[in-house]
Structure 1
Amino acid sequence: MKDMRPAGRMWHLYKMGGITPAITSMFDVQSAQQMAFIRSIMKEQRKNSLYDIPLDTVELVVFDLETTGFSPYNGDEIISFGAVAVQGDTIKEEETFYRLVNPKRAIPDNITELTGITNDMAAKAPDLINGLHDFLEFVQQKVLVAHGTGHDKHFLNSALWKTSKINLSHRMLDTMMLGKWLNPRLKSYDLDTMLDAYGIDVTVRHHALEDARMTARLWSRFMREIRNRDIHTLGDLYAHLSHHQ
């Protein structure tokens, strides 16, 4: 029988997952479980080869983050996750995810004005590890899509390292990069410009779920153009994009 007294449980967790979950378990068993789940998702994702998947059937999650600023390595934090599931060019409107996160720091006034998220709202929200766990539970092994992935990827990697000492291993696609490839003559490729160019109605900007929904509609429009270029698999798409960076 395993020794589940605190010292025994810590030794068992150390043998199973290393020092990080073992130390975390001393303070919060739930956090240790969430960390183990996050690490397992990243480990499984590294095993997957997605290149041969037809674009018509590929499962994706289009997502957006709202944050306290622009630099996760200088103290800025995630304050909300928003995501919607997509298969091929079909948006699964009923499969969405939205979660506020407590950043454990003050939200600047300009960010509150931009996002509508107040310090009082954030103070009642779950901690980062809870929000990240729930987001990854929604994502599972699907390909991630965002508009301007650099910002979101930096914040996800910072959050993953802070909570679980691991890096993001999911494949990502950037609708900004796709827009530059498909429409090389546009003067700008920010989300508002792209939505206007494709006649997509703007609902609520700088709300993580609404931005994710609008980006998903943009992805759906892009898919029709991509098919017309005789690109049929995820690997084909990555190969073409690699020549247009």
Structure 2
Amino acid sequence: MKGVKSGGIWHLYKMGGITPAITSMFNAQSAQQMAFIRSIMREQRKNPLFEVPLDTLELVVFDLETTGFSPYNGDEIISIGAVAVQGDKVFEDDTFYSLVNPKRPIPSDVTQLTGITNDMADAAPDLLYGLGSFLEFVRQKVLIAHGTGHDKHFLNSALWKTSKINSTHRMLDTMMITKWLNPDLEKYDLDYVLAYYNVDITTRHHALEDAMMTAKLWSKLMAEIRSRRIHTLGDLYTQLSRHQ
């Protein structure tokens, strides 16, 4: 706000409303991206989805690669991958992938794990644009990830940094679902669960590949969910709430 002269942001607000004030602080395209992200979240709040049958439910399975484990201590998103799903059908040709510029060096161990270098990140879109493009792909669909805690924290942190808003999307966790369906498994990390359900493991720690493998895992889990007489998203949430 220090760059706003002649009365500051409140002067701009009085002269023409908040949009010119935002646009003066950022460029017009950035302001549009912020407005779009906020509109997606507003629309999502109007869409409870609980009565939608799981067989017709539209979902997006996603994965984030990051510089570390703590978005509140300086770690940032470096890539986003996602694939569209409806019911148990995985749309392998309907995908999203973007690198994201974290505006900080990528640790060498993260580069070794993900294959994402500082040069690749420097040429990537900023967080605002990468996040906006991802949400344009997602729209009002339910989000799925494996071990959602990590991804949810980074997603909410990114939304707050760019648009001062939190995610309102419904989210499902394939790890939690697997624990409910298979309470006696030795482990529940993605590699172990993929192997247990005979899902081919391709390239791990690549956001799109991890999202695709998790989507195929979800498809396998759906068969077991149906066998438990779970028919709607609300049914599934109710069942999972009893096994937390």
TM-score (norm. length: structure 1) = 0.93
Aligned to 1:112: 111
Distance 1:58 1:143, change over 3 A: same
Offset at residue 49 of structure 1 (A): 1.5
Q: What are the residue-to-residue correspondences of 1:133-172 with 2, within 5 Å?
A: 133-172=132-171
Q: What are the residue-to-residue correspondences of 1:26-45 with 2, within 5 Å?
A: 26-45=25-44
Aligned to 1:15: 17
Contact 2:54 2:232 survives alignment (8 Å)? yes
Distance 1:88 1:27, change over 3 A: same
Matches of 1:118 and 1:14, distance apart in 2: 44
Contact 1:62 1:144 survives alignment (8 Å)? yes
Offset at residue 11 of structure 1 (A): 3.0
Matches of 2:44 and 2:14, distance apart in 1: 25
Matches of 1:125 and 1:35, distance apart in 2: 18
Aligned to 1:194: 193
Offset at residue 104 of structure 1 (A): 0.2
Matches of 2:137 and 2:11, distance apart in 1: 29
Offset at residue 14 of structure 1 (A): 7.1
Show structure 1 runs of 4+ deviating over 6 A: none
Q: Which residue identity lines up with residue 191 of structure 2 in the other structure?
A: D
Aligned to 1:4: none
Residues 174-227 of structure 1 show CA distances to partners (whole Å, capped at 9, x for unaligned) of 000001001100011000000010011100000000000000000000000000
* Structure 1 segments unaligned to the other structure (5+ residues): 1-6
Distance 1:224 1:128, change over 3 A: same
Aligned to 1:122: 121
Aligned to 1:68: 67
Offset at residue 232 of structure 1 (A): 0.5
Aligned identity (percent) is 73
Residues 65-96 of structure 1 show CA distances to partners (whole Å, capped at 9, x for unaligned) of 00000000000000000000000000011100
Residues 100-153 of structure 1 show CA distances to partners (whole Å, capped at 9, x for unaligned) of 000000000000000000000000001000000000000000000000000000
Q: Which residue identity lines up with residue 179 of structure 1 in the other structure?
A: T
Q: Which residue identity lines up with residue 57 of structure 2 in the other structure?
A: V
Q: Name the SS of the counterpart of 2:68 in structure 1.
A: coil
Contact 2:12 2:18 survives alignment (8 Å)? no
Contact 1:84 1:216 survives alignment (8 Å)? yes
Matches of 1:71 and 1:47, distance apart in 2: 31
Matches of 1:100 and 1:187, distance apart in 2: 34
Q: Name the SS of the counterpart of 1:82 in structure 2.
A: strand
Q: What are the residue-to-residue correspondences of 1:52-67 with 2, within 5 Å?
A: 52-67=51-66
Distance 1:190 1:31, change over 3 A: same
Offset at residue 10 of structure 1 (A): 4.6
Matches of 1:49 and 1:173, distance apart in 2: 14
Q: Name the SS of the counterpart of 1:152 in structure 2.
A: helix
Q: Which residue identity lines up with residue 15 of structure 1 in the other structure?
A: G
Matches of 2:14 and 2:59, distance apart in 1: 36
Distance 1:230 1:122, change over 3 A: same
